[in-house]
Amino acid sequence: MKKKILVVDNHKVVLKFMTTLLEKEGHEVLTAEDGLSALDILRNYLPDVIFIDLVMPKIKGDKLCRIIRKMPELSNVYIVILSAIAAEEATDFAGLGADMCIAKGPFNEMTEHVMAALDHSDQAGSNRVAEEIVGLQGVFDREITKELLSTKSHLEAILNNMTEGILELTPERRIVFVNPTATSLTGASEEGLLGSDFIELFDGNHRKRVKNLLQEIGDMPQMITDESPVLLKGKQISLNILPVKEDGHKSFVVIMNDVTETKRVRDTLKNANRELVRAYAHMRERKDQLSMQQFEEEIGFLIDEKGRVLGVTEKGLKVTGKNRAELLGQNIQELVDENSRDKLKASMRDAGSRILGQTSLRMIFKQLDRQIFETRLMHMNMKQGPALLVLMRSPFSETRR
């Protein structure tokens, strides 16, 4: 009986062999060179039998089998795996949803096995599933193939256990690989994601951002950082998109991270920091108000960072014996004994660095000339700029009395 057959294999020689063989027997044959192309054909074509290569690009054979078995319209299609690695790697073809597995070998032997598979496909129920791999007797394992499969197995183990979501896209943005974290982030099954358009995963306007990024990408990686993430199923996601070129073919590897919690913590810290800054500013304002009140009650000078007098208290005017006009603009160093000026400079540097400057200075005052004063210097924020508040307590001689 004439059958509709789809053959999926990335080797053109195998496709040519299968097409010639099957058409000679009167069957209708379509071919695809990778899993993604096969899915496109299956949208409008319902075959009776599908031959699937196990190792191929753009969705491997095992993944393709699982996807097909999830498609209701293809639930009864007969699937035959064509395996070039049957001798090196045990294949649970029934677990993949396949009905038979044929080990690739010499074409004259494969002809017999392919014809037997077509006859077997006519059987109903569980009897149509073969019990073992066909054609394995004439195939011998190869050490290099076993080594490559071992490396592949290790890489897959790493990808499957990464905390980041990893996807591979074609230049047309279609997904051909996803790891378990990516399926978890998207909330979709692996079968549902493979072959789908990557940008359709994202919400609203975020879809356009991702599309523009993929359109603009050249040979350099592109990123959407956690500072301005995109939304995917309500999650905030950062993306790192890496262009890959291999054997003249281009694809994209996408690394995605769920930064929802990171953003929440960061925003909370930012809000807390803003509140802290406001509280600190309020505290500084209150402190400055208290300092100014204290300034008015003591011998005090308000100076700029170079030491020029900007203001003076009444007690300050009294002990200097000068009026306000004479003092304003004068450098406070001129009121300090030469032997105390270095100490004043050091205290001014401390106060300018927000450190409370404390020292004892011998002052040249008209009423209390050459007396030693306990002096404190504090940094202040004035409307006209930073300033230093200089407060002097009564001379030690008066204190001791």
Question: Are 222 and 302 in a shared domain?
Answer: no
Question: Are 121 and 20 in a shared domain?
Answer: yes
**Percent of the chain having pLDDT more than 90?**
34
Question: Are 122 and 181 in a shared domain?
Answer: no
Question: Are 239 and 338 in a shared domain?
Answer: no
Residue 157, domain member (yes or no): no
Residue 287, domain member (yes or no): no
Of 77-81, 117-121, 212-216, give the range with the top mean pLDDT.
77-81
Residue 390 or 153, more confident? 390
Q: What is the pLDDT of residue 394?
A: 66
- The range of the structural domain enclosing residue 103 comes to 4-128
Q: CATH number of the domain that 203 lies in?
A: 3.30.450.20
Residue 224, domain member (yes or no): yes
Residue 263, domain member (yes or no): no
Q: How many domains does the chain have?
A: 3
- In three-state form (DSSP H/G/I as H, E/B as E, the rest C), the secondary structure along the chain is CCCEEEEECCCHHHHHHHHHHHHHCCCEEEEECCHHHHHHHHCCCCCCEEEEECCCCCCCHHHHHHHHHCCHHHCCCEEEEEECCCCCCCCCHHHHCCCEEEECCCHHHHHHHHHHHHHHCCCCHHHHCCCCCECCCCCCCCHHHHHHHHHHHHHHHHHHCCCCEEEEECCCCEEEEECHHHHHHHCCCHHHHCCCEHHHHCCHHHHHHHHHHHHHCCCCCEEECCCCCEEECCEEEEEEEEEEEECCEEEEEEEEEECHHHHHHHHHHHHHHHHHHHHHHHHHHHHHHHHHHHHHHCEEEEECCCCEEEEECHHHHHHHCCCHHHHCCCEHHHHECHHHHHHHHHHHHHHHCCCCEEEEEEECCCCCCCCEEEEEEEEEEECCEEEEEEEECCCHHHHHC
Q: What is the pLDDT of residue 400?
A: 39
pLDDT in tens, 168-189: 999 999 999 999 999 999 999 9
Where a domain ends, among 128, 149, 175?
128
Question: Are 221 and 303 in a shared domain?
Answer: no
Q: What is the pLDDT of residue 176?
A: 92
Q: Considering only 121-130, 194-203, 321-330, which range has the smallest mean pLDDT?
A: 121-130
Q: CATH number of the domain that 21 lies in?
A: 3.40.50.2300
